[in-house]
Structure 1
Amino acid sequence: MATQYSSMAPTPDPTIPVLGPPSSYREKVVSALRAAVIAGELRPGEVYSTPGVAARFGVSVTPVREAMLTLAKEGLVEAVRNKGFRVTDVSDEQLDEYTQIRALIEIPTVVGLVATADTTSLEALRPAAREIVTASVAGDLIAHVEADTRFHLGLLALAGNAHLVEVVRDLRGRSRLYGLNALAASGALLASAAEHLDLVDALLARDEDAVRTIMTRHLSHVRGLWATAED
């Protein structure tokens, strides 16, 4: 049975902006390292030194140290005395739980935008959707995760619920997309990336069934394909 939505559109919260790229150097380092953890570029269980990470990403030590402390607060890494930081692991059971919660939140919220989101706000998401495709073609997994995060959180922000956006941001951070390398190598990552443009088009067409179908299929990739750990 189709979910029923109120015909009264909620008043957008002006304090919730559509998310754009990080504005400061520190924020960019945090975003890149967070994406590297989520994408599996920094592997769970391994200990990384701050100078080593700084050299790998071509940045200075201080913002990396600050970024790692931020990621530690988010539960993505943990400090290892006199050595650096260890990337925390996530069990299959936890991934299942995170994906289930995301589906419960994101699918009805995005479907609801069919009736409430204005055309200008939806079109503003298209550049991020294109960035995801571009990153997928280039095989740039970190850029893919960063653009994907901006797109989905920006989309959810249109519902006007800041707490909902923060909950999903946390769930996305706790997830791991260990299968991204395999998907990129097989060409399947590009097909998944293209779904973001399909979603924008379906929302602009006010096609509730298409939006629900795309969101359901897209989130299934997170657990069914992307979270497959490589041996």
Structure 2
Amino acid sequence: MEALASNAPNAMAEQVYQRLKSDIFNFRLFPGDRFSEHGIAAHYGVSRTPMRDGLFRLQREGYLEVGFRRGWRVAPINFEQLDQLYDLRIVLELAALDRILSVEHGREAVEALKAVWCVTPEHREADPATMFEMDEDFHRCLVAATGNLEMLRVHNDVTERIRIMRRLDFLKPQRTSATYDEHGKLLELLERNRHAEATILLRAHITQSKVEVRKITLSMLAAARDQKLPFVT
């Protein structure tokens, strides 16, 4: 493993944090995996100080756990918390729909999204990783178009915290086609000022995503694992 390199301690800690988070999100560090600070520092080629900064930051965010004399562990998936985060996401995005057409540039945002999502089947994206990023961007743009920066900040935080599971949703081809259909329909309803129908559709769209996440089993997570890192015990 090539060592991380930086002259600034804060920059090094940030690099470690981002590498660790990437390994968790890509299931190279799997829920329940245990490891020591010494092992992971040696693997990344860094000193213990920036490594510990990254570990404790991820602990505060709920991705890692630490026990006395037991070392570190990747936190198990908390489905109850995921349900609550999805419910919060629904609240935020429904509030965005209430405002999006009444604010400056709101309709422009809708038109820009239509150019991406209201396309013929042969022009639809098929790569799951790209689709995942496009879907996140769609929902973020709906909130951003309101101009409410605090609402967007909270939405970004929710998006980050459910990302580890949501990305698996697009491994199913039918979810990709359904996402295109539902996004396109939602934008058309907004453009035609059919707000009540758009609200019903958006709620159903996000709720279905929550249901699909609930269907993800440990065996499906294991199948998504890229590789087991050598420092995992």
Query: Are residues 46 and 108 of structure 1, via their aligned partners in 2, closer, same or farther at CA, if it must alter by over 3 Å?
Result: same
Report deviation, 1:183. 5.8
> Does structure 1 residue 166 correspond to structure 2 residue 153?
yes
**Aligned Cα root-mean-square deviation (Å):** 4.3
Native 8 Å contact 1:177 1:228 kept in 2: no
Equivalent residue runs for 1:15-94 within 5 Å? 37=25, 43-46=30-33, 74-77=61-64, 87-94=74-81
Native 8 Å contact 1:125 1:151 kept in 2: yes
Query: Are residues 108 and 70 of structure 1, via their aligned partners in 2, closer, same or farther at CA, if it must alter by over 3 Å?
Result: same
Query: Are residues 213 and 138 of structure 1, via their aligned partners in 2, closer, same or farther at CA, if it must alter by over 3 Å?
Result: same
Q: 1:188 aligns with which of 157, 171, 174?
A: 174
1:215 paired residue number: 202
Flag the structure with larger Rg.
Answer: 2
Gapped regions of structure 2 (runs ≥ 5): 1-13, 219-233
Report deviation, 1:152. 1.4
Q: Separation in 2 of the partners of 1:100 and 1:155?
A: 17
Native 8 Å contact 2:23 2:29 kept in 1: no
> What letter is aligned with 1:229?
I
2:162 paired residue number: 175
| Matched positions, count | 190
1:146 paired residue number: 133
1:19 paired residue number: none
TM-score of the pair, normalised by structure 1: 0.59
The percent identity for this pair of structures is 20
> What letter is aligned with 1:226?
V
Query: Are residues 50 and 154 of structure 1, via their aligned partners in 2, closer, same or farther at CA, if it must alter by over 3 Å?
Result: farther
Query: Are residues 70 and 226 of structure 1, via their aligned partners in 2, closer, same or farther at CA, if it must alter by over 3 Å?
Result: same
2:110 paired residue number: 122
Q: Separation in 2 of the partners of 1:191 and 1:41?
A: 28
Gapped regions of structure 1 (runs ≥ 5): 1-25, 55-60
> What letter is aligned with 1:138?
D
